[in-house]
C-alpha cells in the first residue's frame, strides 16, 4: 500500500497531462480557443480517479502476475465508463439521443487510450535505457575500485 500511495501523485499528474493534451488538440480542431476554469477542476477530478485506477491496474499493489493486455483491460473498461458518466454529468456530451455521439465518444476514447499507451511505452523504454546505462556505469566503477 505504501508503494501505491508513493506512486499515485505521478500517475495523477500523467493522467492530467494526457487529458489536457487531448482536450487541447480536440478543442483546437473544433475551433475552441479557451479552456473554462471549471473544466480544469473537472479534469483534475477525472485525473485523480484515472490516476488511482491506473496505479491499481498497472502497479504491483493488487495485480502482481498478470499480462499487460489484461492490465490495459482492467484500466480501460472502468475508466471509459467513468469518463462517459463525467461527460454526461459535466455536459461534455449533450446529444444522448444520437448514436453518432456514442460512436464519436468511443472512437475518441480509444484513440486517446492507444496514444497514451504508446506514449507511456516510449517513456518506459527511455527510462529503461537510462537505468541500464547508469547500472553499467556503477558496475564499471566498482570493477575499477577492486
Give the residue, 16 or 97, on which the prediction is more confident: 16
pLDDT at 49: 94
Give pLDDT tens digits for 97-137: 888 888 988 888 888 888 877 877 787 778 777 767 776 77
Q: How open is the CA angle 6-10-14, to the nearest 5 degrees?
A: 160
CA dist 142 and 127 (Å) reads 22
Burial annotation 3-23 (CB, 10 A radius, 16+ → b, else e): eeeebbeebbebbbebbeebb
Cell numbers for 117, please give them: 499507451
Q: How many Å from the N-terminal Cα to the C-terminal Cα in the chain?
A: 39
Question: Cβ distance 72 to 56 under 8 Å?
Answer: no
The string of pLDDT tens digits covering residues 53-111 is 988 888 777 777 787 778 888 888 899 899 999 988 998 887 888 888 889 888 888 88
pTM score:
0.72
Which three three-digit cell numbers place residue 47? 485525473
Q: Which residues of 82-113 are buried (b: 16+ CB within 10 A; e: fewer)?
A: ebbebbeeeeebeeeeeeeeeeebeeebeebb
Amino acid at each position: 500500500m505504501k508503494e501505491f500511495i508513493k506512486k499515485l501523485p505521478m500517475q495523477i499528474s500523467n493522467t492530467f497531462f494526457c487529458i489536457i493534451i487531448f482536450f487541447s488538440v480536440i478543442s483546437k480542431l473544433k475551433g475552441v480557443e479557451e479552456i473554462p476554469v471549471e473544466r480544469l477542476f473537472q479534469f483534475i477530478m477525472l485525473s485523480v480517479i484515472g490516476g488511482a485506477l491506473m496505479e491499481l491496474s498497472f502497479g504491483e499493489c493488487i495485480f502482481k502476475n498478470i499480462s499487460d493486455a489484461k492490465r490495459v483491460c482492467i484500466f480501460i473498461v472502468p475508466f471509459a465508463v467513468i469518463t462517459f458518466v463525467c461527460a454526461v454529468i459535466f455536459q461534455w456530451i449533450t446529444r444522448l439521443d444520437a448514436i453518432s455521439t456514442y460512436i464519436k465518444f468511443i472512437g475518441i476514447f480509444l484513440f486517446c487510450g492507444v496514444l497514451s499507451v504508446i506514449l507511456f511505452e516510449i517513456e518506459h523504454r527511455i527510462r529503461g535505457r537510462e537505468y541500464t546505462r547508469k547500472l553499467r556505469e556503477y558496475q564499471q566503477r566498482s570493477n575499477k575500485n577492486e
